[in-house]
C-alpha cells in the first residue's frame, strides 16, 4: 500500500522567502507525481506533473523534483508571495493498481 507523507504539516513564512515543501512515499512503482494547490473551500488545481522518468519540472517560480530511489519529492517556491498561501498536496499515480494516492498536505501561509 502506498503511503504518502508531507512535511511540514503547516508553514508560515514572510513574503519574499524561498521555501521547500517535502513529499515522501513508500512505493517507487509510480507512473507520475503531481503537485496540487487547494485554496480554502475550493477544489484542487494542478501545479506540476513529473513523469516517473523525469527528475524535475519547472513552472514560473515553482520547481518540483522527484527522486524515486529515495521515495522523495520536493516543491520549491521561490520569492514567496501572500497569494501563494494555500494548502499544497502531492499525489502519486501508482502503476500497479492505477490508484491516485494523496499526501495529507502542507498548509502554507505567506505573511506581509
Partner 1 sequence: NAGVTQTPKFRVLKTGQSMTLLCAQDMNHEYMYWYRQDPGMGLRLIHYSVGEGTTAKGEVPDGYNVSRLKKQNFLLGLESAAPSQTSVYFCASYRQGGWTEAFFGQGTRLTVV
Q: Does residue 32 touch partner 1 according to CB under 8 A?
A: yes
Local structure of 32: helix, strand or coil: strand
Q: Does residue 21 touch partner 1 according to CB under 8 A?
A: no
Q: Does residue 101 touch partner 1 according to CB under 8 A?
A: yes
Q: Does residue 98 touch partner 1 according to CB under 8 A?
A: yes
Report the alpha-carbon angle 73-81-67, nearest 5: 10
A 10 A CB-CB count for 25 gives 24
- Sign for the CA dihedral angle at 6, 7, 12, 17 comes to negative
Closest to partner 1 by CB, 41 vs 112, is: 41
Joined grid coordinates for residue 76: 520549491
Q: Does residue 34 touch partner 1 according to CB under 8 A?
A: yes
Name the segment binding partner 1 (CB under 8 A); options: 12-20, 43-51, 62-70, 78-86.
43-51
- The contact set with partner 1 (CB under 8 A) reads 31-32, 34, 36, 42-46, 49, 51, 89, 91, 93, 97-105
Amino acid at each position: 500500500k502506498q503511503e504518502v507523507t508531507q512535511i511540514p504539516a503547516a508553514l508560515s513564512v514572510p513574503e519574499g522567502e524561498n521555501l521547500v515543501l517535502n513529499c515522501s512515499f513508500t512505493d517507487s512503482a509510480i507512473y507520475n507525481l503531481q503537485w496540487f494547490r487547494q485554496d480554502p473551500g475550493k477544489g484542487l488545481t494542478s501545479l506540476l506533473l513529473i513523469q516517473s522518468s523525469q527528475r524535475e519540472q519547472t513552472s514560473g517560480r515553482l520547481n518540483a523534483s522527484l527522486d524515486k530511489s529515495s521515495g522523495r519529492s520536493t516543491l520549491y517556491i521561490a520569492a514567496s508571495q501572500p497569494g501563494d498561501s494555500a494548502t499544497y498536496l502531492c499525489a502519486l499515480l501508482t502503476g500497479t493498481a492505477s490508484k491516485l494516492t494523496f499526501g495529507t498536505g502542507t498548509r502554507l501561509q505567506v505573511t506581509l
